[in-house]
Amino acid sequence: KRTKTDDGETSKRTDGAKRRKKKKGDCSATPERVEHRVNVTAILQYSNASPFRDKTMRGFSCLYCAKHFQNIDDLRLHTALRSEKDKINSMIDYKLSYNPIKVDITDLRCTICETDMKDLNELKDHLVSFHNKTIYKNIKDIILPFRLKDGQNFTCVICSVEHISFKNLYHHMSSHYRNYCCNICGAGYITIAALRKHGKTHYQGHFPCDHCDKSYTSLTKKRNHEKGVHTAG
């Protein structure tokens, strides 16, 4: 729509709400996040790595549609049937600052040439060197690899330490992916969101024990007290 200006000329009217409107996904389109999306999309498009949201009592949840699978092989088959368009679109709105990408790399291979890959680093190098794909290497890695095999293997692919559950293994991965570190206690975290959540435990205030009359100046001290005195054993 055109309106007259003070000098009598016509000009296009720009609605304020329209000016502020952003395209889908723009709110997280910082240069580093764009590079993360490029890397993740390339791995999902050109390998058989199976991404998943989480592992709970209901099973493994698909990254793309959140459907749960008790059998990891069913998730792998389900993932293999996803179209390239689905894989690309799923990364547009995925909140990478909050959720690292979890991928099963059991029997990992390049799907362009069917070459077996030892790990994600070898896959990245292969995609760049042999297939001329774009991979950004000078950024923090937020793609977490797991070699789940039959779905019950919780051995770290980096240091080979075995864990009793996926939850324990997932928390352990922070020791290898210290992308963001707490400047108070030195704890390392994979994403900035995880660091911010941790930072709240250092806030000074009044934190009364849920079980007795004692109170503490930080949430961490309160939790340590409750764990050691009231819920131990």
The rounded distance, in Å, linking the Cα atoms of 186 and 205 is: 21
Give the CA-trace dihedral at 197, 191, 176, 156, to 10 degrees.
90
- CA-derived radius of gyration, the chain: 23
pTM above the 0.85 mark? no
Give residue limits of the domains in the chain.
26-200, 203-230
Strands 59-62 and 50-56 turn out to be: antiparallel
Print pLDDT tens along the chain (233 aa): 554 444 544 444 444 444 444 444 444 467 888 898 899 999 999 999 999 999 999 999 999 888 999 999 999 999 999 888 888 887 766 776 667 889 999 999 999 999 999 999 999 999 999 999 999 998 888 899 999 999 999 999 999 999 999 999 999 998 998 888 999 888 888 888 888 888 877 777 788 999 998 888 878 788 888 888 888 65
